[in-house]
Amino acid sequence: MKKLFLPLLALLPLLAGAQFIYPETKKVDTVDTYHGTAVPDPYRWLENDHSQETKDWVTAQNKVTFDYLDKINYRKQWLKRLEEINDYPKYSSPFRKGEYFYFSKNNGLQNQSVLYRQKGLDGKPEEVLDPNKFAEDGTTSLATFSLSKDGRYAVVGKSKGGSDWRTFYVMDMNTLQYLPDSLEWVKVSGASWQGNGFFYSRYPTPEKGKELSTKNEDHQVYYHTVGTPQAADKLVYSDAANPQRFHGVFTDETESYVLLNISDRGKGKNGNALWYYKQGSSDNAFAPIIAEPGEYSYNFIGEHNGKFYLSTNDGARNRKIILVDPQRPAKENWQTIIPEAKENISSVSMAGDKLFITYLKDVTSRVYVYNLSGKKEGEVKLPALGTAGGFGGEKPDKFVFYTFTSITFPPTIYRYDIATGESTVFRKPEVKFNPEEYVTEQVFYTSKDSTKVPMFITYKKGTVMNGKNPTILYGYGGFNISSNPSFSPARITWLEQGGIYCIANLRGGSEYGEKWHEAGMKLKKQTVFDDCIAAAEFLQKKKYTSPQFLAVQGGSNGGLLVGAVINQRPDLFKVAIPQVGVMDMLRYQKFTIGWNWIPEYGSSDNAVDFKNLFGYSPIHNIKSGVNYPATLVTTADHDDRVVPAHSFKYAATLQEKYKGNNPMLIRIDVNSGHGASNLKKGLETTADIYSFVFYNMGITPKFPGMKPVEKKGF
């Protein structure tokens, strides 16, 4: 095939006021027919991420993008400020195994956090694993760390370049040396110990060269015995008749019970099946508690006196806690321990013979403690309105740890004494900023169908609401995931430059339970876009900002949101930042684990779903003659969750059809995945995004010695 790229010297955009010149992207005559509708796919060849043509295209696109970004004279200063504010020690909550407490720590600007352990809470920390040494460029991370019940061994899972693939190793915790064990092609899996080995899930070895794009099917569960090769692992469970099911086996705290979780999202089912066997039974054969995956989910919390505590939305859209006797698993024998409440249960944990239940009330955490009979014993008093997480532990524990955060409240670790119900600060970060300088409002705006939607708005005190404030509107709206208020040191650099940051709690998430989720999925997906559009209109009506100073940002499902919203209402935004987005809604299910999203979106294989998907799919709804916002698409070469072909094809289509003066650029990171593979890459991406936004709004940040930037000479 002939390469149709312009010489690199000709790829630079022309002077301000003229159109950009992009790499000329070849078009092919590929046409698919869906239920009688012919749909061209001229950039299908970009789906081949290993072809030389695609690699050349990536190089040419990055040349244009980074030449553009390099001309923004405050970009390096923004990165420097990001490094300054991130340069403080960050800790994870400790967890106990035997006499040791384990925790991770990042000294400040380390690419990866380091794992430590110490004897008792006052012991001297000892380094266990330093993932910064896994790879020279710091892009291999510690993705799994699972200790055996006696603490003698640990499974160490590594992710290379941000990929979802894991390689499992076994470490001797007495010597802190690796054993010869090495397990490959692990994905969507933990490591659950029992005896001298552990259960894990993997896929068959993918075709060479297609490891990051091929459809993942036939998820299999194995048992690995320490000290043996992977080829000797015992197949525990597989289901060739249902290749798009996820299978995961895990054990309870005592390792007495082995549980099998099965989901069938490839067939559009949101729920799961749950099977079990008791160790020492005659044949170790799984018996059903829930025989087949269907509409409802059943999450194992813990075991007590031979009975299982489960969290479920079966008959409780906001979830409830039930007690099930696995020997009498019929539904009529279930006992409701904690009934459904007005607020949605967001998480449940068991420790010290107590249940810790976290509810969401208007997108902020409320945590209550119950005994195992379901009697409420108290509330964990949180320091402010925000997000709490943690509370994990084991039955003998007398205290647990949790982390609390909010938009201007850095993650602080608390120790909760179970007997007294008192919380004390265990570790408080020292971030170089003053939270008293900022304000966070929670507003409730009205969407298209009159539904009230919450949104958090954060800005510097004294900001004048005159419609001229640079503002980022962030949204996600999907997969039953709540966009809770949390702290980001990177975001502080936006706020201190006079920026306003808004988090819209769009439907499709779990903010108000399954009802809120269902209102933004499948045939109702347009509701999510309407919620985002209404948020932008609200911000402009109330003079927080205006179309000249509003950017919309989102990643993954949020990248889809950005693409759809700027197609429908480009007039509302000056800048768009779609990150690692699902942009081709007709073919997403054909790559890696994309079929897992069918319950959320529907599938183009279904005629009704196709009509809905085709109506909002970002790639298929870009039109000529529309003044799109300045757009910076971001993706990465090792993203094997939302493959980069989505962003490649989307950017190529924008560049082909848009004829205005705004830049339509794509930034393609290397050795990175669905999220940044290390801290350095994450900060560089953020600096580029914030600089791109300010530059295209015509704003110069207030860094020392800054002079206004003139938009010319590119």
Question: Is residue 8 pLDDT above 60, yes or no?
Answer: no
Distance CA 177, CA 364 (A): 43
Over residues 182-194, mean pLDDT:
97
Q: Give the burial string for 156-166 (b: 16+ CB within 10 Å, else e).
A: bbbbbbbbbbb
Q: What percent of the chain has pLDDT over 70?
A: 96
Distance CA 344, CA 322 (A): 15
Residue 617 has a CB neighbour count (10 Å cut-off) of 26
The per-residue pLDDT for 284 is 82
Distance CA 704, CA 714 (A): 24
pLDDT per position as a tens digit, 357-401: 999 999 999 999 999 999 999 999 999 999 999 999 999 999 999
Question: Is residue 111 pLDDT above 70, yes or no?
Answer: yes
Of the chain, the end-to-end C-alpha distance in Å amounts to: 32
Question: Is residue 9 pLDDT above 60, yes or no?
Answer: no
Lowest average pLDDT, out of 89-98, 209-218, 697-706, goes to 697-706
Over residues 29-58, mean pLDDT:
96
Distance CA 103, CA 95 (A): 7
pLDDT per position as a tens digit, 554-567: 999 999 999 999 99
Question: Is residue 19 pLDDT above 70, yes or no?
Answer: no
Over residues 515-532, mean pLDDT:
98
Question: Is residue 12 pLDDT above 80, yes or no?
Answer: no
If you average pLDDT over every residue of the chain, what do you get? Answer: 94
- Provide the β-strand partners of residue 155: 146, 170
Q: Which residue has the tokens 């169908």?
A: 449
Question: Is residue 1 pLDDT above 50, yes or no?
Answer: no
Question: Is residue 74 pLDDT above 50, yes or no?
Answer: yes
CB neighbour list of residue 9: distance below 8 Å, 6 or more residues apart: none
DSSP string over 571-614 = GG-SEEEEES----TTTGGGSTTGGGGHHHH--TTSHHHHHHHH
pLDDT per position as a tens digit, 403-412: 999 999 999 9
The per-residue pLDDT for 711 is 54
Categorize the per-residue pLDDT at 630 as very low, low, confident or very high, splitting at 50, 70 and 90. Answer: very high
| CA distances for 348 relative to 196, 358, 508, angstroms | 29, 6, 21
What DSSP element (H or E) covers 73? none
Angle at 216 between CA 26 and CA 475, to 5 degrees: 70
pLDDT per position as a tens digit, 323-343: 999 999 999 999 999 999 999
Over residues 465-480, mean pLDDT:
98
| CA distances for 14 relative to 64, 167, 250, 558, angstroms | 11, 47, 58, 32
The per-residue pLDDT for 18 is 55
The per-residue pLDDT for 13 is 40
Over residues 192-197, mean pLDDT:
96
270 Cα distance to chain centroid = 18
Over residues 611-618, mean pLDDT:
98
Distance CA 464, CA 455 (A): 19
Q: What class does CATH assign to 66-83+434-697?
A: alpha beta
Residue 169 has a CB neighbour count (10 Å cut-off) of 16
Categorize the per-residue pLDDT at 15 as very low, low, confident or very high, splitting at 50, 70 and 90. Answer: very low
CA dihedral 532, 538, 543, 547 (to 10 degrees): 40
Over residues 230-253, mean pLDDT:
97
The per-residue pLDDT for 626 is 97
Give the start-to-end residue ranges of the domains of the chain.
Answer: 66-83+434-697, 90-351, 352-424
pLDDT per position as a tens digit, 660-691: 999 999 999 988 899 999 999 999 999 999 99
Nearest CA-CA partner of 399 in 414, 411, 384: 414
Residues acting as catalytic residues:
556, 674
Which pTM does this prediction carry? 0.94
3-class SS of residue 292:
coil
Number of H helices, E strands in the chain: 10, 39
Q: What percent of the chain has pLDDT over 90?
A: 92
pLDDT per position as a tens digit, 269-311: 999 999 999 988 778 899 999 999 999 999 999 999 999 999 9
SS (H, E, C) 167-188: EEEEEECCCCEEEEEEEEEECC
Q: Quick one: fold of 90-351?
A: Methylamine Dehydrogenase; Chain H (2.130.10)
Over residues 507-516, mean pLDDT:
97
Question: Is residue 714 pLDDT above 60, yes or no?
Answer: no
Cβ neighbourhood burial of 107 (10 Å; 0-12, 13-18, 19+): exposed
